[in-house]
Chain A
Amino acid sequence: MNGVHDTGGMQGFGPVLPEPGEPPFHAEWERRAFAITLALGALGLWNIDQMRHERESLPPAEYLASSYYRIWFRAVENAVRELELLDREGLRARTAEELTGLFSSRSSYERRIGAGPVFRAGQPVRTRTINPSGHTRLPRYARGRVGTVLAVRGAHVFPDRHAVPLGQEPDPTPEWLYTVEFRAEELWGQDADPTVTVSIDAWEPYLEAA
Chain B
Amino acid sequence: MSDHDHDHDHDHPQYSELSEMEAKVRALETLLTEKGLVDRAALDAVVERYEKEVGPHNGAQVVAKAWTDADYRRWLLEDADAAIASLGHVGRQGEHMVALENTPERHNMVVCTLCSCYPWPVLGLPPVWYKSPAYRSKVVIDPRGVLADFGVSLPEGTEIKVWDSTAEMRYLVIPLRPEGTDGMSEERLAELVTRDSMIGTGLVHAPSGAAR
> A-side interface residues toward B, CB under 8 Å?
5-11, 13-19, 22, 24-29, 31-36, 38-40, 43, 52, 55-56, 64, 67-68, 70, 73, 76-77, 80, 85-86, 91-100, 102-110, 137-139, 141-142, 153-154, 156, 159, 177, 179, 181, 184, 187-188, 192-193, 195-203
Contacts and interface: CB of A to CB of B under 8 A. Distances in A.
Given A31-B47, A31-B51, A95-B42, A85 B141 contact: no
Contacts of A56: 114-115
Contacts, number: 263
B205 interface: no
B28 interface: yes
A36 B96 contact: no
Contact of B43 (A35, A106, A201): A35
B39 A39 contact: yes
B26 interface: yes
Interface stretch (B2-10, B65-73, B144-152, B185-193): B144-152
Contacts of B204: none
A15 B134 contact: yes
Given A17-B134, A196-B160, 6 more contacts: A17-B149, A18-B129, A22-B129, A92-B36, A109-B95, A203-B167
The 4 closest A-B pairs by CB, nearest first: A8-B113, A201-B167, A35-B43, A96-B45
The number of chain B residues touching the other chain, given as a range, is 35 or more
B19 to A, nearest CB: 9
Given A8-B113, A141-B140, A156-B168, A16 B39 contact: no
Contact of B115 (A5, A10, A76): A5
A19 B128 contact: yes
A28 B94 CA distance: 26
B180 to A, nearest CB: 24
Contacts of B167: 137, 153, 156, 159, 177, 201-203
B102 to A, nearest CB: 14
A34 B50 contact: yes
Contact of B51 (A25, A80, A198, A200): A25
Interface of B: 17-18, 21-22, 24-26, 28-29, 31-33, 35-39, 41-47, 49-51, 55, 90-92, 94-96, 113-116, 124-125, 127-129, 131-141, 143-144, 146, 149-150, 157-169, 196, 201
Contacts of B45: 96-97, 99-100
Contact of A16 (B21, B129, B158): B129
14 contacts: A15-B149, A16-B150, A22-B129, A36-B29, A39-B39, A40-B37, A85-B35, A100-B46, A104-B90, A139-B166, A153-B169, A184-B141, A187-B141, A193-B144
A110 B17 CA distance: 40
Contact of B91 (A7, A19, A91, A106): A106
A62 to B, nearest CB: 11
A22 B144 CA distance: 23
A199 B134 contact: no
Nearest to A17: B129
Given A91-B37, A93-B36, A153-B169, A22 B43 contact: no
Nearest to B23: A29
